[in-house]
Amino acid sequence: MEKGRVMKKGKVKKGKEPEKEKIREKGKEEKEKKKEVEKEKIKGKEKGKEEKSNCKEEKRKERETEKEKEQLKGKEEKEKDNSALTKRPLEPPEKNKQILVLGLDGAGKTSVLHSLALNRVQHSVAPTQGFNAVCINTEDSQMEFLEIGGSEPFRSYWEMYLSRGLLLIFVVDSADHNRLPEAKKHLHQLIGTNPILPLVVFANKQDLEAAYRITDIHEALALSEVGNDRKMFLFGTQVTENGSEIPSVMQDAKDLIAHLAADVQGPRPGPLCSCQSKSP
């Protein structure tokens, strides 16, 4: 009997061991699955972080590229300005003095000058970057004009060339009220170095609604203070319809300029030059 009981107990033990083993195996599998799920989650998070990091890196590179482009553009513009400044026109001999055309940028110097040269309205869109030399022929004389850019980098050249000027043409924008004090300051600085240099002022853009009239321009530029020994003339000008004949007032101004230049210059032998423009 004791023996039979022992055998019976042994059989019960053998029956329960495989079930426990299965439970343990199943538990291990579930743990393994959980680990795999956790690994996948970690991988997903790392991938998200990596993609976010790559996105930030790409945006940073884009910003750096844009910044480099802007710096390169600024450098090119600076080099262009420096190049324009270093390329001066050939200095004319004393007997070939020129009529200087000066004024702030945007006043319309080039448009006025080309209109006088061609006897018809010729608009200019781009501002003069440096120097613009033009020769104008009349029936019995020739006139050599030199326009110098009106932006800040070129104003230091104004007085340098003033000593070789036959006369000074100063162009102002009649409608740009805010810059008239600045124009006045530069004009009086120029004429202060030469008390007898003839002066012709063009109050340009008279066709604009906001333009000051001639009397207002005379007062704004303090032209009554230019000196009693100086020949001074003020014209109201405009260049409206491109290609049309120049207004009669511009023709009158052209005739006067030729007369003044002839008085200062005296008789000049030699062939007439053809109209041309030069820029550095």
- Give the CATH number for residue 227: 3.40.50.300
Q: Is 4 annotated as a binding residue?
A: no
Q: Rounded to 5 degrees, what are φ and ψ at 213?
A: -75, 170
SS3 category, 125: coil
Q: Is 207 annotated as a binding residue?
A: yes
- CA nearest neighbour of 102 among 176, 155, 144: 155
134 and 51 in a common domain:
no
Structural domains counted in the chain: 2
**Structure-token match 């291990």, residue found:** 28
Q: Is 104 annotated as a binding residue?
A: yes
Q: Is 150 annotated as a binding residue?
A: yes
127 domain residue, yes or no: yes
148 and 102 in a common domain:
yes
Q: Is 103 annotated as a binding residue?
A: yes
Q: Is 278 annotated as a binding residue?
A: no
Of 43, 63, 86, the one marking the end of a domain is 86
98 domain residue, yes or no: yes
**pLDDT band at residue 241 under the 50/70/90 scheme:** low
Q: Is 206 annotated as a binding residue?
A: yes
Q: What is the pLDDT of residue 77?
A: 58
In tens, the pLDDT along 127-153 reads: 666 788 888 877 777 888 999 988 888
218 domain residue, yes or no: yes
**pLDDT band at residue 62 under the 50/70/90 scheme:** confident
Residue 63 lies in domain: 1-86
Q: Is 173 annotated as a binding residue?
A: no
271 domain residue, yes or no: no
130 and 67 in a common domain:
no
Q: What is the pLDDT of residue 179?
A: 96
Q: Is 255 annotated as a binding residue?
A: no
Global pTM value: 0.61
5 and 132 in a common domain:
no
Q: Is 75 annotated as a binding residue?
A: no
Of 46, 67, 86, the one marking the end of a domain is 86
Q: Is 193 annotated as a binding residue?
A: no
Q: Is 107 annotated as a binding residue?
A: yes
- CA nearest neighbour of 277 among 78, 141, 144, 80: 144
SS3 content of the chain, % helix, strand, coil (to 5): 55, 15, 30
145 and 99 in a common domain:
yes
158 domain residue, yes or no: yes
Cα distance between residue 211 and residue 180, in whole Å: 11
112 and 82 in a common domain:
no
Q: Is 146 annotated as a binding residue?
A: no
Q: What is the mean pLDDT of the segment spanning 110-121?
A: 83
125 and 32 in a common domain:
no
Of 54, 86, 118, the one marking the end of a domain is 86
Q: Is 251 annotated as a binding residue?
A: no
251 domain residue, yes or no: yes
- Write the DSSP symbol of residue 193: T
275 domain residue, yes or no: no
